[in-house]
Structure 1
Amino acid sequence: MNPSRFHAGELQVQARAGVPAEYAQRASAAIRDHMPDQHRQFFGQLPLFFLGALDADGQPWATVLAGTPGFISAPDARTLRIVGGPLPGDPLQGQLLPGRRVGGLGLVPATRRRNRVNGVIDTVDGGVVTVAVEQSFGNCPQYIQQRTPRAVTPPAAPLVVRAAALDERDLALIRRADTLFIASANPDAQAAAQADGARGVDVSHRGGRPGFVHAAAGGILLVPDFAGNSFFNTLGNLAVYPRAGLLFVDVDSGDLLHLAVEGEIVWDGPLVEAFEGAERLLRLQVREVVRNVGALPLRWSEAQPAAQLARTGDWDAAAQELERKKGHKLSLATL
């Protein structure tokens, strides 16, 4: 393996962040073109599977699929099989078609284990989606809040609310969230020639203290970027294709809040300095909102926060720090 497993955007962000080239070469060896047996077994035990894909207009969306364990399976090391598709009303309903690229994330909050798998849809037959795997790698358990699930019966026909802007209910969910999922993409066909399998879609987890996402006026969200594995899959994609999709899960009601956003990386400045633990920020402009009310057939226990949160802050503390050091309050003008 060599660093070409990362595409140009990922390498650009790694360089800007000061990641040594030697690390990038070692890291690229962790990105396989097949699933190891332990990942195949892991996917087969999941009741949930997080998915990122583009719609017909090239907009990435992040979503979650749910089913009886076994609905995700890996019949061989280069094939992922999904029985059933997105929930009714999901923005990706009807969008999982042959030739479309997808990013997958298996995550178990109770154990904080997670593994990634990316590829291209090979076939869709009778509600069964088969994905040809191009990338497979594990992620560490950092920033994952530990929760245990319980099954519920969702509404037969969940209410789906579509809007161009966030309402107060959406803002309340975002402001108390300690977890989000983000789908991003590098759809450039030339990337396949420039890097070994680096073209495609990723879906990734982000975690923090409740309140780690700042929802400002005008549909702007700020998300701190904490120290991680330095692959920079998400940020590398945003560097070349600024459209992304967010998913917030209401663990109490089962609501799924999907957001289509345009993003940019904020590398430095007073906001980065004020937020404890942030190495940079994502500034995201909300373009479209889809709330699928009560659709998820699981509810979750109270969270046991990840140990890494001890070295991170929230936006209330950041606003106080800005006011103390810079003499101004956090407002839209500072964004």
Structure 2
Amino acid sequence: MGGYHRGERAVQERAGFARRAGQARGAIGNTVPDVAVAFLAQQPHLVAGATDERGRIWATQLTGEPGFLTVPGPHTLRIGALPAPEDPLAPLLAGAGSGSGSGSGLGSGPVPVGLIGIEPATRRRMRMNGRAVRDGDGLRVELDQVISNCPKYIQKRDHHRPAASTPLPRKAVDSTELSPAQQQTLRAADTFFIATASDRGDTDASHRGGNPGFVQVLSPRLLRWPDYAGNAMFLTLGNLELNPAAGLFVPVWETGTSLHLTGSARTVWDEEEAARTSGAQRLVEFEITAVREVASASPLRWSAPAYSRFNPPTAA
């Protein structure tokens, strides 16, 4: 069980998976295997999560031509891209490790980041957690954890880049709650990414997937989703046990729009409540404090999904 922090161990014990989590510990390393080096080199995007200067956690997406992700050493990832200015993590990551901070933490040293590379076409993914510094026109991340993940709940999609000669302008809209259109986006979502951090600031990014409707919009500021059977590590819920701050990135696959949410999350352990949602072992509730929607944030466009056979049914 070495390597799990106390929040992860507490959740593993409460869920009754402590022994299985100990066996799964072998999937966590701190070097990038050769097969993963090749995998990363083929990807046009990467999801990242980090905590901004106000203590809010955000998740976002970085994109580039395949080859923008390289592994110059077994413990290092080079990302040949930075967030666009409209991105909620742009100020933080653009100044990472620059030493230009003035007491806020912004730019004052390496930034803890959680990363996930995902290839929907093959349902492959890998998680990497470490500390990022600015490196020219991109980031260099010294990795603390490299985590193998199973393909459950990933919807199969293919991507392309539009042939338009002039990219559409990005446009950011901020609010403190979800608009009716954003609520509909979440109700129709089959995928989102969640970033969390431990009480020490170590950050993780994870994937969540299911059939449309698996994200429940309880109000303009409150979401709920089922926690399905997984790898028993409980890295996300373990972080939430110690630090409720969380950030969500919801991609709108067809248009390239990014929906970013930040707030706090908690695990709902009530068995009767969970039993009302198909496949749920427990529930997670997320209270929104800020919303940023960025139109045309990504140059990638994706095909309609082929849903994972592991997805539990959702209510009509």
Q: Fold match, TM over 0.5?
A: yes
Q: Is the 8 A contact 1:244 1:262 kept in 2?
A: yes
Structure 1 counterpart of 2:2, from 1, 4, 11: 4
Higher helix share: 1
* Structure 1 residue 307: Cα displacement: 0.7
Query: 1:105-124 maps to which residues of 2 (within 5 A)?
Result: 105-121=116-132, 123-124=133-134
* Structure 1 residue 252: Cα displacement: 1.6
Q: Is the 8 A contact 2:169 2:296 kept in 1?
A: no
Aligned residue for 1:157? Answer: 169
The alignment yields a C-alpha RMSD, in angstroms, of: 1.4
Q: Which amino acid aligns with 2:154?
A: I
Local SS of the residue matching 2:185: helix
Query: 1:141-152 maps to which residues of 2 (within 5 A)?
Result: 141-152=151-162
Q: Is the 8 A contact 2:194 2:249 kept in 1?
A: yes
Q: Which amino acid aligns with 1:147?
A: R
Local SS of the residue matching 2:263: strand
Structure 2 counterpart of 1:80, from 57, 77, 80: 77
Aligned residue for 2:41? Answer: 44
**Does 1:57 pair with 2:48?**
no
Aligned residue for 1:248? Answer: 250
* Structure 1 residue 269: Cα displacement: 4.2
* Structure 1 residue 184: Cα displacement: 0.4
Q: Is the 8 A contact 2:178 2:220 kept in 1?
A: no
Q: Is the 8 A contact 1:186 1:201 kept in 2?
A: yes
Deviations 1:125-163 (A, max 9, x none): 322211111100110000000011111257453110011
Once residues 234 and 278 of structure 2 are traced to their aligned partners in structure 1, the CA distance between those partners, rounded to angstroms, is 20
Deviations 1:34-71 (A, max 9, x none): 11111122111110111111111221111110100111
Structure 2's unaligned 5+ residue stretches are 98-109
Query: 1:1-335 maps to which residues of 2 (within 5 A)?
Result: 3-21=1-19, 23-96=20-93, 97-98=96-97, 99-121=110-132, 123-152=133-162, 155=167, 157-188=169-200, 200-309=202-311, 312-316=312-316
TM-score (structure 2 length as normaliser):
0.91
* Structure 1 residue 270: Cα displacement: 3.6
Once residues 269 and 134 of structure 1 are traced to their aligned partners in structure 2, the CA distance between those partners, rounded to angstroms, is 35
Aligned residue for 1:319? Answer: none
Calculate percent identity across the aligned residue pairs.
Answer: 39
Q: Which amino acid aligns with 1:176?
A: A
Deviations 1:82-140 (A, max 9, x none): 1121133110002121211011101000000001111112x313222111111001100
Q: Is the 8 A contact 2:199 2:242 kept in 1?
A: no
TM-score (structure 1 length as normaliser):
0.86
Structure 1's unaligned 5+ residue stretches are 189-198, 317-335
Once residues 113 and 87 of structure 1 are traced to their aligned partners in structure 2, the CA distance between those partners, rounded to angstroms, is 26
